[in-house]
Chain A
């Protein structure tokens, strides 16, 4: 429970007095504080997700307009109706609640909320540092990642058929968890397996899931595993960060192309839920620009092309054999807090909902899982500018970006689709697979969760 430094707001049955508050200019004075507010006096009716969303939206508005009192009142209500150990809606709302408090505490004008935040001791989400084995089992708890892995591996295998050397550049949130199955598939499929080279951008990001192993050690394990499957694997880490669009990695790749023009080498760019951290257009260019940016200074500021677009163009210039892009299908880039909150609320209910199907309460893995989602919520709601790294874009926008960068979409084969269907069958009911033009979409209860797309350079 939150500790308030001042007297709690009046009980709910006196809320009719709320009508005296001017929340925003468009608000009509009603006996109920705002439209949609249930007239019932009990908290039970607040269990509705819609209602919670409304409350969160109003709270966000209050915070943005520096209305500390109102914000506090709504937060109090929210705190009562959304315990952190409630049902999926409640836990979702609780995460948003915490994020809003954090946000309010950061904005200088809401000092009272800052006091609240201090009292709310566990606002900071502690993210577990996974051991590599823990992470391996963690990513396979749901098809969330395995969907992208399977689709990507299938597309990659098709694309590198006949190549003697395959160079994979892995931009993945999951720290190479996709690679063992890729190695296994390559070993199984090709009689004389190609030589593999794996390059990863090994910046120590603070984004969950975090690994307690260095990339060097991780690479050693992968090389060892590849050897056990009779596949030669070279592993390389290039310190590079999404914050500058992986500029140093791109540079290295360019140099490598110039110096070692290996014929018959396939270049595979595997992007798994990582590209959405690269700053895009909504991030104010003047704040993101740094003198270390290897992308052309004048070009950037004059044409205001985002790092994200520049990254894709740079990838295109490397003439890859195939680019696989897997990411979460949601729009969390709006600059307006309320819009962003709505989008996030209407997307992030999915991980909270599905966790009930596969992880029992109180299990460690469930804690880690929910902590990771919480982190995401907090990042989207409570942070701004460079700190707000979770900049998800919907599939349609990514498709547009890829086309703008002169890529052409390719379809996933029938084998891939049937493999995915089999994989989904092995998980709880509720998961679905959709084909949208060339791309595949993983759905939960019909709602888009993750999309997978494959691209080749357009002529």
Chain B
């Protein structure tokens, strides 16, 4: 900061910058030839020793009219203009400026020695206050005390701003205490247990049911504190089963015949369409089938929680799935064959055995889903609702052709892998049900790792038991674009993996 060079500033009557107070020795000009430590002053600099009074003084320049105090003479002069008083603004002198350094007046201080002088007037003032002054400013939040006001201001800006929240509700201001707490918190145990046992949790935020949906969808909405697609998953399987079963018996929708159900369907579709738009990937495809497909998705969310009433929903969806080409007397089948429709109840059913033979009945974007179903059917009945579901979910939310080709590639890839228990969509689990799913859930995110032998559709390997549940979940969190490309999912996973709920915003466990 520019220092007033003229010693004649003493005209103001106050002790000037370069004068000394009562107690101190006159300013010394010393030529220091020896350099001691880095950061020490220029040896040729003029050493100034100011008294404590001078250092602590504020507002040394006082206006004679209104007694307003100023720290610098130049500010006072500018103020005097306002009083229409004669003022004198000094320019910086053109001659070579002599470097000045300042020593601390406190004898016991390290900076009392001219060789450890500080090069800045403000610096020495602050130093003196901090080290040897009284701490006048106190932070309300944490009771830390400061002698220099700028230190206090800087602190109060950051005090309490950084907060780490654990799922259990505890809040920490320091990261290390947060980490230590988190390691031993029961919430971590619960979370990892949850991930291992509840497969639906893996699917997160892929498609959110529309809040304006009809009663069928609503119960799910209330439960969307857990990832909505979690609930989506089992339902989707059923829907899928429903779809395939609608295919196999050669049923197609009979719109005119099932007017009451059509009516039912409409709001559902509307709801589903709405939810389609929420999953931006699906919304990009304008076709009815895809939207219906997505609606299948969303409605299955509803159906997940409504076991008995699922069948009508499913039948609606089935009809929606196969609109023009084939008439489906779903109405008749729905009431008579709930077993066939509900995959969850029939692990060993031949739903897939017969289904999926007519991929052409689905329009373009849904083709991949059909292809998958076909392959799944070839694999045999599946007990793992979630895996099929996940596969489905991924397919439906991948909007573009490329995306669905990716998913087709994925399914092929997973077929290639030597996998007794996790073929394709993971449907080949021979009635193991949840146990296989658990293994799935525990898969590591290292989808692309060479050393993972079994990869299901999502590339969640079974082998790596040490997978982080949080990471596993994040694998399925689609990128903002919504197109759940598994590659993208895994990439985000790689980056975000291991976050483990560290910062509130990233905490998967608290996803809304």
Contact = CB atoms under 8 A, between A and B. Distances in A.
Interface in A139-168: 139-140, 146, 149-150
A224 B177 contact: no
20 contacts: A136-B180, A139-B180, A140-B180, A146-B177, A149-B176, A177-B180, A180-B180, A187-B498, A224-B188, A225-B182, A225-B183, A228-B192, A228-B468, A228-B470, A228-B500, A229-B468, A229-B498, A230-B498, A428-B144, A429-B144
A308 B185 CA distance: 36
B36 interface: no
* Residue picked from B177, B181, B469, most chain A C-beta under 10 Å: B177
Contacts of A423: 174, 176
A183 interface: yes
A228 B181 contact: no
B145 interface: yes
B211 interface: no
Contacts of A222: 183
A225 B470 CA distance: 11
Interface of A is mostly: helix
Interface string A404-427: 000000000000000000010010
Contacts of A364: none
B32 to A, nearest CB: 26
A140 B176 contact: yes
B143 interface: yes
A184 B181 contact: no
Interface in B321-376: none
Given A140-B176, A184-B179, A221 B143 contact: no
B80 interface: no
B121 to A, nearest CB: 26
Contacts of A139: 180
B460 to A, nearest CB: 15
A27 interface: no
B189 interface: yes
Interface size class of A (residues with CB under 8 A): 20 to 34
B497 interface: yes
A49 interface: no
Contacts of A137: 177, 181
Interface size class of B (residues with CB under 8 A): 20 to 34
Interface in A170-228: 177, 179-181, 183-184, 187, 218, 221-222, 224-225, 227-228
Interface in B173-200: 173-174, 176-177, 179-186, 188-189, 192
A149 B176 CA distance: 10
Contacts of B256: none
A224 B192 contact: yes
A180 B173 contact: no
A132 B184 contact: yes
Interface of B: 135, 142-145, 173-174, 176-177, 179-186, 188-189, 192, 466-471, 497-498, 500
A133 interface: yes
Nearest to B445: A230
A428 B180 contact: no
B157 to A, nearest CB: 14
Interface in A220-277: 221-222, 224-225, 227-230, 232
Contacts of A229: 468, 498, 500
Interface of A: 132-133, 136-137, 139-140, 146, 149-150, 177, 179-181, 183-184, 187, 218, 221-222, 224-225, 227-230, 232, 357, 423, 426, 428-429
Nearest to A230: B498
A187 B499 CA distance: 10
B177 A230 contact: no
Nearest to A135: B184
A6 B248 CA distance: 102
* Residue picked from A228, A229, A428, most chain B C-beta under 10 Å: A228
A136 B189 contact: no
A180 B184 contact: yes
A402 B144 CA distance: 38
Contacts of B467: 227
B176 A150 contact: yes
Contact of A227 (B144, B145, B192): B192
A219 to B, nearest CB: 11
Contacts of A146: 176-177
- What 5 A-B pairs come out closest when comparing CB atoms? A180-B183, A225-B183, A140-B177, A228-B500, A132-B184
Nearest to A422: B174
Contacts of B142: 428
B371 to A, nearest CB: 34
Contact of A181 (B179, B498, B500): B179
Contacts of A133: 181, 184-186
A181 B176 contact: yes
A277 to B, nearest CB: 23
Given A133-B185, A225-B183, A429-B145, A140 B174 contact: yes
Given A187-B498, A221-B189, A429-B145, A181 B180 contact: yes
A183 to B, nearest CB: 7
B174 to A, nearest CB: 6
A33 to B, nearest CB: 38
A225 B143 contact: no
Contact of B182 (A180, A357, A426): A180
B183 A221 contact: yes
A228 B184 contact: no
B332 to A, nearest CB: 51
B500 A224 contact: no
A229 B182 CA distance: 11
Given A221-B184, A221-B189, A426-B174, A227 B466 contact: yes
A227 B176 contact: no
Contacts of B186: 133
A136 B145 contact: no
Contacts of A228: 188, 192, 468-470, 498, 500
A150 B185 CA distance: 21
A227 B468 contact: yes
B180 A230 contact: no
A294 B184 CA distance: 36
A225 B180 CA distance: 10
Given A136-B184, A181-B179, 5 more contacts: A140-B177, A146-B177, A228-B188, A228-B192, A428-B142
Contacts of A221: 183-184, 188-189
Contacts of A426: 173-174
A428 B174 contact: no
Nearest to A229: B498
A293 B135 CA distance: 57
B497 A230 contact: yes
A224 B467 CA distance: 10
A429 B181 CA distance: 24
Contacts of B180: 136, 139-140, 177, 180-181
A229 B184 CA distance: 14
Contacts of A149: 176
A218 B183 CA distance: 10
A221 B179 CA distance: 13
A240 B465 CA distance: 31
A83 to B, nearest CB: 25
A187 to B, nearest CB: 6
B136 to A, nearest CB: 13
A137 B181 CA distance: 7
Contacts of A429: 135, 144-145
B184 to A, nearest CB: 4
B188 A225 contact: yes
Contacts of A140: 174, 176-177, 180
* Residue picked from B142, B174, B497, B498, most chain A C-beta under 10 Å: B498
A47 to B, nearest CB: 24
A426 B142 CA distance: 9
Contacts of B182: 180, 225
B146 to A, nearest CB: 9
A218 B497 CA distance: 24
Contacts of B181: 133, 136-137
B174 A179 contact: no
